[in-house]
Amino acid sequence: MQDTVLVKGHQLSAIRGERILYRGVDVEVRGGEAILLRGSNGAGKTTLLRQLAGLSEPQFGSVVRTGDHHWIGHANGLKAHETPRAHLSHWARVWGSAARLDLVLERMTMVRPADVPSRMLSAGQKRRTALGRLLLVERPLWLLDEPFNALDTGGQALLSTMINEHRERGGAVISAMHGDIPIEASREVTL
């Protein structure tokens, strides 16, 4: 899996309203890499990530993905009434995952609040639940939008480890990020 191109964005552009966010951006990600998207607020990091994920259609340019990917967006994807266990078991079934839920919850240190509806969880706990989805099925590409937001130091360390392990297995990460970088990046793309 190492060195295979997992996603390739060619000459991507984004227009917000009548304003050009960015144009002519080329992104190519191979197995084992971690690419950071940098840029000030409103520069279009989220938009580029969404284009790479196939959520937004680029006005110009093209995206080719060769494998499956995981998506962790700004919003965690949790329903207010959903418990972390229900959320993870729901997506595990949708994706046909054979992962053991109790192990995933344990890894994310979410065993204790596993059965609390998410509206009563803290922002960090919700984020940990969402990140738990990364462990449900093995997918070569992770697309992460500000994944360290809301996480405490323990959570940040955990996510860094997860990302490193994923890269050692030959996976790749593209992450939009501002501020300090708790992971070692192979490349940065600045918008």
Q: Which residues bind another protein (CB under 8 A)?
A: 15-19, 50, 53-57, 59, 69, 71, 73-82, 90-91, 93-96
Rounded CA separation 191/174 (Å): 14
Please, are residues 22 and 14 in contact by the beta-carbon 8 Å criterion? yes
Q: What is the DSSP letter of 126?
A: H
Cβ proximity to another protein: between 86 and 185 the closer is: 86
Cβ proximity to another protein: between 11 and 59 the closer is: 59
Cβ proximity to another protein: between 3 and 80 the closer is: 80
Cβ proximity to another protein: between 54 and 154 the closer is: 54
Strands 5-16 and 19-30: antiparallel
Dihedral of CA 92/95/97/99: which sign? negative
Task: Return the closest-CA partner of residue 148 out of 114, 173, 182.
Answer: 182
Cβ proximity to another protein: between 117 and 164 the closer is: 117
To another protein, the closest distance from the beta carbon of 3 in angstroms equals 25
To another protein, the closest distance from the beta carbon of 76 in angstroms equals 6
Task: Return the closest-CA partner of residue 46 out of 159, 180, 139, 177.
Answer: 177
To another protein, the closest distance from the beta carbon of 135 in angstroms equals 15
For 13, other C-beta atoms within 10 Å of its C-beta total 18
Rounded CA separation 76/55 (Å): 15
Cβ proximity to another protein: between 20 and 157 the closer is: 20
Describe the strand order of the beta sheet including 141-145 as a list of residue ranges: 69-72, 141-145, 172-176, 34-38, 187-190
To another protein, the closest distance from the beta carbon of 44 in angstroms equals 14
To another protein, the closest distance from the beta carbon of 74 in angstroms equals 7
